[in-house]
Structure 1
Amino acid sequence: MRMRPDLWLVAILCALLPVAAAAQPDRRAMLTGAELRPAQSLDGAWHWSIDPYRDGIAGFHGGPPNASTRRWSDVIVAEVAERDPAALFEFDMQRSPVTHLPGSWIGHAPEMRLYQGLVWYQRDFDFTSAGPGRRTYLRFGAVDYRADVYLNGKLVGSHEGGFTPFAFDVTDLLRPGRNQITVGADSARTNDDVPPPVTDWETYGGITRLVSLISVPETHIEDYWVRLTRDGRIAATIRVAGGGADAPRVRIPALGTTILLRCDAQACTGSIAAPRRLKRWSPETPTLYAVEIEAGGDVIHERIGFRTIEVRGTDILLNGKPIFLRGISMHEEELGSDPVRAMTPAAARALLTEIRDGLNGNFVRLAHYPHSEVTTRMADELGLLVWSEVQVYWRVNWSNPATLATAQAMMTETIQRDRNRASIILWSVANETPVSEARNAFLRALIGTVRAQDDTRLVTAALLSKREGKVSTIDDPLAGDLDVLAINTYNGWYSGDPLASLPSLEWRSESGKPMIFSEFGADAQAGYHDAAPSPHKFSEDYQADYYRQTLAMARRVPFLRGMSPWILKDFRSPRRQHPVYQQGWNRKGLLSPTGERKQAFEVLAQEYARIRDSR
């Protein structure tokens, strides 16, 4: 885990404190499918306290924090103060304001709307031991951007990333009865982080996904992957923690199928020929099978779909048949006037149903970071194909090996969390990154990480293109490394092209590979209309005409195999500050923040119905 340069000395000094966990073994674990296991939820009421000068981490001379500022101390401040009136505390977590998690701190109070930095969270919970021969993990769905986790005053571990889950083995730190958990959630990022500070979306700092205590047998399944291979076999790979497991197996009762696994030092693996009666998952028939993964007395009950995805020439083949991806991009932000990135099943269903039923879509690009497993599981249920992306975005420090290692860790966590999801067909390694030799080497290393983790899906990245006159050429050096090319194009919005000229624009590629228009779009403030012969940008009329003309251009691209315009709904973005039309929102959504459909929504829906019905 890489630490910010300004805190390295503090980390060394804090390691000398009696409460530090530096001498303990690495407690981190993957726990794939953790949300399927019996758990004690730690969601709900938490106390919170801002720490803009980070004095819960370091004193003002740079040394370890003293007792008066350690937010994570295992004390009840009021009780200590009653016993010793001379005791000095410059915090009191038990009397700090209360919020309900998960959800970003931008919803805690109005003054938190644009806060960037460190916030401390704390709550108590009661724990009853699960008995001998079991391990207990503390698991977070996501904390943005960095999390330092303390249990009963001891540092459990840290995680960097903001969008992927992490778990710590806390078996020997828990105590019967009352326990105290404290989390330092730090949204501040440097130019060496992934992504760096400058983006076009809301940071949403804080604890944004579920928190739980999960009890498992001493010998338990840490990671598993069950899939249909391109040669027609159902394959399974599992990793077991806590010692050897007798006769690990995977059962699919509805198919009458059992896969017996053989184990070596790395993993347990096995495969069988897929039964002829297997129903393949697709957007039209999103069949999910109950799957039991068993090892050493530990059993996980999953629901998995089986399908294949591959490329042949300029075609994308789903289950061996060409498919056109009728999609749209989406940020992880629930409908509503004040979203806090609390993605519940109902919130995910509302958004994805707009795509499937409203837009006649079969595809969603989950941009620009890994979205909640709530969303990817809902895509499995509803039958939407998914592009999943890691947050390698814009101005990454391509020359820093530590930055690459961070990106690779994020990619690995994303894949291991979600590679059992049939809906996911594309792993994206980057968005709109400027070409350089350092960037090319960085992204090729990241592509290698993807292929080492998952050889059943396609790899892509949202690229930029070269335009000369009316001709755009896909000349990115990464084209040869990707399975599917993807281009973000905004002709007519970020260019001076008259909208009527867009259909005459030409696209060329020498790669012989399929291409997706991964982004195109225009801002429109819902309810603002300007139907003059030349409608004003930011009007619904301009956005609708932009879509008509851009879609006419897309019809003329012979190797285009999908689209994910930008974007399903307006989303928060502090960089967008036009006082009339934006007010801190990117308005390229086809829906308003509360779900009101703009004119362009129907334009795209009609085009997707035409494409669907013509195939």
Structure 2
Amino acid sequence: MRRVFERVLAAMAVLAAVASAAQAGPTLTRADRRDGQDLSGTWNYSVDPYRDGVAGFHRGPPGTGHRRYDDSDVEQVTRADPKALYEYDMQRSPTATLPASWLTHAPEMRHYQGLVWYQRRFDAAALKPGQRAFLRFEAANYTAKVYLNGKTAGEHEGGFTPFSLEVTSLLRAGQNQVTVGVDSTPAVDGAPPPVTDWETYGGITRPVRLVITPETFVDDAWVRLTRDGKTIAADVRLDGSAAAGQAVSVKVAGLNLTLSGQAGADGVAKLTAPAPKGLRRWAPGAPVLYDVRVEAGDDVLTDRVGFRTVEVRGGDILVNGKPVFLRGICLHEEELGENPARTITEASAHALLAEARDGLHANFVRLAHYPHSEVTTRLADEMGLLVWSEIPIYWLVDFGNARTLKLARDMQADAIRRDRNRASIVLWSVANETPVSEARNAFLGTLADDVRALDDTRLVTAALLADRKIEGGRQLMGVDDPLAAKLDVLAVNTYAGWYSDDSLDAVAKIAWRPTDKPLVFSEFGADALAGFSDPALMRKFSEDFQARYYVQTLAMAANAPSLRGMSPWILKDFRSPRRQHPVYQQGWNRKGLISPTGRRKAAFKVLADYYEKLAGEGR
């Protein structure tokens, strides 16, 4: 297998030529802090299951009466010309408050998959000479076609990473009309794949902002402590005609530190300075953040940044040179409540992260299985939680498809560029539960190489599948995956006792082979309907079974000599259309340690007590 992997790696150069992860457009880091206006609020929406607004019956362009993005007032047009035929009227269509998935717009939208058109009008001041305008979407799931004042602004594929479209020539003084066609249908050659275990959450699920910049502006500024802990480095990327040769400065408040230099011909300035002796490092449980100000020409970009190091040494994960055990939990991007709409505000994110940090005594969260909201990663910085960030590469991804590889590489690059300043993120994950094959090995190997090229200050991982053998009459688990050679930290999902016929007593006796790298149990868990107790039979879906499952699985963890962390699946019950038991599931995956509304199950205390003990031991 290793030789096969090496041959496949040699072929990756060919794939790389087809699927480059080069930056395609502006990043607009920290768009929330830039000049402009938030376009959240009331939008009109119109369902379009047959994509009538995209193409006509004979695959030609849609006719006048079907183009929902046209810059026209349908009521006014039809009053002026009674013969005009329109089969839409966006301004009289139902309304919804965005950002939010359309799942909660109306009862009939609960399981809708397909195309939905959104539209709103907003007023804008006239651009001053030398100004540029962008529409920046933090996320629209899954593909989005964007129009401003009836003209195409651009499109994007991928439901979890931001994208920015320049609209300088399309924006007008006074009233403007923005229309977005969002299609939630996953592509067979897309990422994620069509088969999943959670709600799709189609729609505009994160904020939209009109951003106004100078002609040349600071597009991205990556400010960090280098791996050796001796240097503050800043890579500043400028966008605009005056980028080359532009003077750049990075000021770190509280440290009396200024990094200065000039951008090169590519518009990038690479600045360094010795780390000040008074630098206080960011650490889990002790988050120290500094206000950073980046200046270039007429533009200023600000951020809050923590400085720390993370590395693997031998079998340990080290933060600031000290071994750490990752006391974690998995999270989906889904707020508390019976009808979550993937509306992640600072309050809703804090409710989830606080339950992990303060309730479970966790120091780590795995944000599965896609890049989560910027609100969450910024809040993790503030709250002192370590983070695993992941892209949606799992299960049935078309690993042999060059388009799919390019899409995954672009997603990975966008996620890293967005969040490189977040000290909380220590692990970039390239995949979850992917079966071994030559095509998969090459695909994920390319992603791992991309991560290292884009960010050499963090660790690379992937959630792998465990292999199981019987040796000496004993059940023995381990990791036998050629991708392990490309990773810093090995992670494995294990569900013995839930997705297996093992008795719970047998689970505690399972042993794990030592690995030459740190090992993390990236998932384990069992379903339980909050409030359902069955202590006599200990049936699955009871709180009694789930609690006992945790007791025995944590006992199994003691048999894994390389284990340096865990993130059980999952903090909160989450919606999943494939989970349809009429009594216990009702469209929910019940592996949460808390119910949809936040009620703690018995297993919550089992894990909390375990983590509290580890924390007391300094782990």
Q: TM-score, normalised by structure 2?
A: 0.94
Aligned match of 2:542: 539
Instruction: Note if contact 2:427-2:461 (Cα within 8 Å) is conserved in structure 1.
Output: yes
Between the aligned partners of 1:599 and 1:261, the Cα distance in structure 2 is 57
Aligned twin of 1:214: 211
- Map 1:139-218 onto structure 2 (within 5 A): 139-218=136-215
Answer whether contact 1:387 1:428 (CA < 8 A) is retained. Answer: yes
Q: Would you say the 8 A contact 1:27–1:156 is kept in 2? A: no
Name the residue aligned to 1:56: 53
2:615 & 2:104 partners in 1: Cα distance? 40
Matched with 1:236 is 234
8 Å contact 2:122–2:175 — kept in the other structure?
Answer: yes
Contact 2:246-2:263 within 8 A present in 1 as well: no
1:513 equivalent among 513, 517, 530: 517
How far apart, in 2, do the equivalents of 1:28 and 1:185 lie?
Answer: 20
The answer to whether the aligner puts 1:492 opposite 2:489 as a matched pair is no
Structure 2 partner of 1:261? 261
Per-residue Cα deviation, 1:404-428 (whole angstroms, up to 9, x for no partner):
0000000000000001000000000
On the 8 A contact 2:488/2:517 being kept in 1, the answer is yes
Contact 2:285 2:383 survives alignment (8 Å): no
The answer as to whether partners of 1:28 and 1:169 remain within 8 angstroms in 2 is: no
> When the two structures are aligned, how many residues end up with a matched partner?
588
Aligned to 2:367: 366
Amino acid at match of 1:218: E
Aligned to 2:568: 565
SS at match of 2:64: coil
Question: Could you report, residue by residue, the CA deviation over 1:1-54 in whole angstroms, capped at 9, with x for unpaired residues?
Answer: xxxxxxxxxxxxxxxxxxxxxxxxx99421111112132111100000000000
Q: CA deviation at 1:247?
A: 2.1
Counterpart in 2 of 1:40? 37
1:69-80 → structure 2 map (5 Å cutoff):
69-80=66-77
Match of 1:456 in 2: 457
3-state SS of 1:45 partner: strand
Task: Letter of the 1:311 partner, please give it.
Answer: V
Spell out, residue by residue over 1:345-380, the C-alpha distance to the aligned partner (whole angstroms, 9 max, x if none). 000000000000000000000000000000000000
SS at match of 1:545: helix
Does the 8 Å CA contact 1:379/1:385 hold for their aligned counterparts?
yes
Is this contact kept in 1: 2:133–2:211, CA < 8 A? yes
Taking every aligned residue pair, what percent have the same amino acid on both sides?
61
Give the drift of 1:134. Answer: 1.1
Root-mean-square deviation (CA, aligned residues, Å) is 1.1
Give the alignment of 1:333-344 within 5 angstroms. 333-344=334-345
**Equivalent of 2:476 in 471, 479, 498:** 471
What is residue 442 of structure 2 aligned with on the other side?
A: 441
| Cα contact 1:48–1:93 (8 A) shared by 2 | yes
**Which residue does 1:579 correspond to in 2?**
582
Shift of 1:465: 1.3
The correspondence for 1:224, drawn from 202, 218, 221, is 221
Contact 1:121 1:182 in 2 (8 A): yes
Gaps of 5+ in 2: 1-22
Answer yes or no: is the 8 Å Cα contact 1:251–1:293 preserved in 2: yes
Matched, 1:526 2:530: yes
8 Å contact from structure 1 (residues 41, 211) kept in 2 = yes
Aligned partner of 2:277 in structure 1 is: 276
Taking structure 1 as the reference length, the TM-score comes to 0.95
Once the two structures are superposed, what CA deviation does each residue of 1:465-498 show, in whole Å capped at 9, x if it has no partner? Answer: 1101300121011111100000000000001111
Matched AA of 2:564: R
Amino acid at match of 1:184: G
Whether contact under 8 Å (1:27, 1:168) holds in the other structure is: no
- Select the residue among 604, 615, 619 that pairs with 1:601: 604
Equivalence for 1:403: 404
SS at 1:504's partner residue?
coil
Rounded to whole Å, the distance in 1 between the matches of 2:482 and 2:580 is 35
Q: Map 1:282-293; keep pairs closer than 5 Å.
A: 282-293=283-294
Q: Distance in 2 between matches of 1:215 and 1:190?
A: 33
Give structure 1 regions of 4+ aligned residues with deviation exceeding 3 angstroms: none
The CA distance in 2 between the partners of 1:281 and 1:261, in whole Å, is 26
Q: Does the Cα contact within 8 Å between 2:430 and 2:462 map onto a contact in 1?
A: yes
- Does the CA contact (< 8 Å) of 2:26 and 2:239 recur in 1? no
CA distance in 2 between partners of 1:264 and 1:122 (Å): 41
Question: Are the structure 2 counterparts of residues 27 and 468 from structure 1 closer, same or farther at C-alpha, using a change threshold of 3 Å?
Answer: closer
Q: How far 1:190 sits from its partner (Å)?
A: 2.1
Q: Which amino acid aligns with 2:239?
A: A
Residue 84 of structure 1 and its aligned partner are, at CA, apart by 0.2
User: Which residue is 1:248 aligned to?
Assistant: 248
Whole-Å separation in 1 of the counterparts to 2:262 and 2:298: 16
